[in-house]
Structure 1
Amino acid sequence: MKTYILSAGVVIVRGRPEDPRYLLLRAFQYWDFPKGVVEAGEEPLAAAQREVLEETALTNLMFRWGKGYQETPPYGVGKIARYYVAESLDGEVHLPINPLLGRPEHDEFRWVTFEEADRLLGPRLRPILNWADWLVTRERQDG
């Protein structure tokens, strides 16, 4: 049985269910949601929240759609990324300096619509976006 490196992250959303915005981060030419490697002994959800803080300075995430998650298929050198969905009601995003790199981990951030995210994200992350958007917008459909 192959062992994978697990990363955990959060699809962060703001706005009303009929007009949500998703937070994307860019490193080089690659867009992703905030995420990072789960450390030994760390719960994946705690790792996801830590990574959001380290990469965006956002706190006070509300997991209003529960603590379910979706994972990507294996990629790179044996990695799997697990994503949760949370709402961020307040706080300004900024890209803190990573002390190991001496610079921020990401070059840019954007709050984008589903359509913009669908264009920017690669094929590995589109199913994650689709799942998150379904969770967020079904309130509109159910209501």
Structure 2
Amino acid sequence: MAAIKRSAGLVVMRQFDGQWCCLVLRAYRNWDFPKGLPESGEELLHTALCETTEETGLSDLELPWGDDYRETAPYSKGKVARLYLALSSQGDVSLPVSAELGRPEHHEFRWVPIEEAEELLPARFWPILQWAQVVIGAGSN
């Protein structure tokens, strides 16, 4: 049995006009969260933060809900994505050029309500969106 190939990323949340929205990225026809593979020996939370900064330009990310995470079920030859919940209260998203690719990794970004994210993202992310919604709802007054 092949080893699990684990990536790490963030469900980045921000409020717009009092409504919570999450950041989704598009590469070709596929919508995703910012995430990537860890360097050898790298902690997955560190990977998640670094990959998000590399892919979006957002660097002032906070973890007000702690370092809890959820993982996708295995997909695409056994890959698993671990996602943490982060807050971006400031900063503009950019899609920087990847040194490896010579172009941005993604073609588009959107801040969308969780319901819209469910329409864009693959079904493997739906339980993670539901978890994020519960956590965000539990943390609001």
TM-score by length of structure 2 reads 0.94
Question: Structure 1 CA distance, aligned partners of 2:33 and 2:136?
Answer: 16
Aligned residues: 140
Partner residue in 1 for 2:13: 13
TM-score (structure 1 length as normaliser): 0.93
Give 1:50's aligned residue: 50
Q: Find the counterpart in structure 2 of residue 27 from structure 1.
A: 27
Query: Which 4+ residue blocks in structure 1 deviate beyond 2 angstroms?
Result: none
Secondary structure of 2:80's match? strand
Unaligned 5+ residue runs, structure 2? none
Identity %: 49
TM-aligned CA deviation for residue 105 of structure 1: 0.3
Structure 1 gap ranges (5+): none
**Displacement of 1:26 after TM fit?**
0.4
1:15-94 equivalence runs, <5 A? 15=15, 19-94=19-94
For residue 3 of structure 1, what is the aligned residue in structure 2? 3
| 3-state SS in 1 of match to 2:19 | coil
Deviation at 1:60, TM superposition (A): 1.4
Return the alpha-carbon distance in structure 2 between the equivalents of residues 133 and 19 of structure 1.
Answer: 12
Taking the aligned partners of 2:91 and 2:15, their CA distance within structure 1 comes to: 13
- Secondary structure at the aligned position of 2:41 is classed as coil
- Give the AA of the match of 1:103: R
Equivalent position amino acid for 1:94 in 2: S
Q: How does 1:87-102 map to 2 (within 5 A)?
A: 87-102=87-102
Q: Over the residues paired in the alignment, what is the CA RMSD in angstroms? A: 1.3
